[in-house]
Amino acid sequence: MVEIKAEPFPFPARPEEMALIVIDMQRDFAEPGGFGASLGNDVGRITRIVPDVKRLIQGFRNAGLPVIHTMECHKPDLSDLPPAKRNRGDPSIRIGDVGPMGRILIAGEPGTAIMPELAPIAGEVVIEKPGKGAFYATELGDVLKRKGITQLVFAGVTTEVCVQTTMREANDRGYECLLAEDATESYFPEFKEAAIAMIRAQGAIVGWTASIDDILETISHA
């Protein structure tokens, strides 16, 4: 066991049991014309963290540790999209509608793809998830069990929705969770700040938070 400098106290890392989970770094959430922009959001906030997420991913690859990517998307027939989700948010185009990058958040469409700079490489797992959390209706739990993973480092978007939801799901399943603060973002800076505070409150009740530099410093020497 080695320690990663973190809040609210050092993270007791076991690199041989650790994986990086990169949440939903998709074109629809980060590029003009996508679903995020249709909701009136400043997608530039997401684009700005791409170099940081890329550096974190490369650090895990260099250390020989697993990188797992998630994509929020639905079946073309929308059979896994409940009306309660499709009808929320008052977007100009809804999930399943045709947008500038194909049908919004539909598996296989151009806008649903992970951003090219962060694209998975051969051997990396990609989880297609119909919900905000990456464990719901997916094979993620089985993948982690097969790989012997007990600790998860998180990056991606948005901090307060899909990232925090997945961290809470993982926490309930017994995983130790660490959020890379500078590799996650929200369309609303105050939401990111609040989510980070909630995650590490009361003695890391959901998980720890740390900088990319401190995470990579530890795993590169483990």
Selecting among 28, 52, 73, 162, the annotated active-site residue is 162
The reply to whether 132 belongs to the active site is no
The reply to whether 129 belongs to the active site is yes
Question: How far is CA 145 from each of CA 17, 109, 204, rounded to the nearest angstrom?
Answer: 10, 30, 23
The closest alpha carbon to 216, from 189, 182, 167, 171, belongs to 182
The closest alpha carbon to 125, from 108, 143, 141, 109, belongs to 143
Structure tokens at 190: 């105050």
The reply to whether 73 belongs to the active site is no
Selecting among 24, 28, 52, 214, the annotated active-site residue is 24
Selecting among 28, 52, 73, 129, the annotated active-site residue is 129
Structure tokens at 217: 């410093």
Strands (E), the chain: 2-4, 11-13, 18-23, 67-72, 98-99, 102-103, 125-129, 151-157, 176-185, 208-210
Active site positions, annotated: 24, 129, 162
